[in-house]
Amino acid sequence: MDQKETSNPTLTPELREEIKQRIRNFQERMKENPELARIHYERRMSMDTHPVFTKKEKNK
């Protein structure tokens, strides 16, 4: 039980397990449906060029 591992003390072991399970479920859906995985990937990558996400950098 290393204290450094728990950066968020509000996450109970139950919540941690639920998060891990949701990630596993998501990964399974991505494996089962390549089209869904492609759409998710493209949306995530579009964040790099979307004005809402790049606005802060332009203000420098």
The domains of the chain are located at: 13-55
pLDDT of res. 25: 93
Read off the pLDDT of each residue in 30-55 and give the average, rounded to a whole number. 80
Does pLDDT of 60 surpass 60? no
In terms of pLDDT, which residue wins out, 50 or 45?
45
**pLDDT for the residue 55:** 63
Helix, strand, coil % in the chain, rounded to nearest 5: 75, 0, 25
Tell me how far the alpha carbon of residue 44 is from its chain's centroid.
10
